[in-house]
Amino acid sequence: MTELTRALLDAAAELLAAHGSRGLRMAEVAAKVGVSRQTVYNEFGNKERLVQAVALHKTAEFVDGIRARLLDTPDPLEGLRLGIGFAFDLAEVDVLVKSILGGTNAEDLLPLLTTRGRPVLTLATSVFVQHIRRHWPAVPDARVHLIAETIVRVALSHLLTPSSRRVEAVVGVTEALLRGPDGVAG
């Protein structure tokens, strides 16, 4: 990713948090970075693609932090606990995520995680697929994808409706899904 692309995505994220996607103006993104409006259009094509690119850029920040914790922690369930905890902690301080989850523009932006959330779901799921394959190689491929996607969906559910034991809930569901018919994690 070029420095220009990153700057445009960061500027758009800040403006999305403040104004939602309906209030986002390509000219404001351009002005914030010091380029022409045409440059923003050349980079992203249209506003919808820019908003989707911001969603994927933000998701990548979360995924990179989760991946680092999964790789740096020898115990696979503790890695999962630390990775999910990182995501929840980042969500509490990230202005765009806070806006999506409960700000004035929540209704405008929430589809990025729900009805139009497939790209985010796919990217986030991929990190857990890798983790499961690395630590539980006997788990069949179809089940790996089911477990990984369930991790992301349960985590998103807890982001949307927080609970005091949200990290443990995600890890508990994961442990239950990993258990084979004999009650032992696969």
Q: Which domain holds residue 90?
A: 55-178
Would you say residue 128 lies in a domain? yes
Answer for the pair 69, 79: CB distance below 8 angstroms, yes or no: yes
Would you say residue 47 lies in a domain? no
SS (H, E, C) 81-118: HHHHHHHHHHHHHCHHHHHHHHCCCHHHHHHHCCCCCH
What pLDDT, on the 0 to 100 scale, is given for residue 181? 55
Would you say residue 34 lies in a domain? no
Report how many helices (DSSP H) and strands (DSSP E) the chain contains, helices first: 10, 0
pLDDT 10s digits, 47-78: 999 998 998 899 899 999 999 999 999 999 99
What pLDDT, on the 0 to 100 scale, is given for residue 180? 63
Whole-model pTM: value is 0.85
Answer for the pair 123, 63: CB distance below 8 angstroms, yes or no: yes
What distance in Å separates the CA atoms of residue 5 and residue 44, rounded to the nearest whole number? 9
Would you say residue 163 lies in a domain? yes
What pLDDT, on the 0 to 100 scale, is given for residue 108? 76
pLDDT in tens, the chain (186 residues): 899 999 999 999 999 999 988 899 999 999 999 999 999 999 999 999 999 899 889 989 999 999 999 999 999 999 999 999 999 999 999 988 888 887 776 677 777 777 777 888 899 999 999 999 999 999 999 999 999 999 999 998 888 888 889 999 999 998 888 886 554 455
Would you say residue 20 lies in a domain? no
Domain count, the chain: 1
Answer for the pair 17, 51: CB distance below 8 angstroms, yes or no: no
Would you say residue 107 lies in a domain? yes
- Residue 144's CATH number: 1.10.357.10
What distance in Å separates the CA atoms of residue 11 and residue 16, rounded to the nearest whole number? 9
Would you say residue 35 lies in a domain? no
Would you say residue 97 lies in a domain? yes
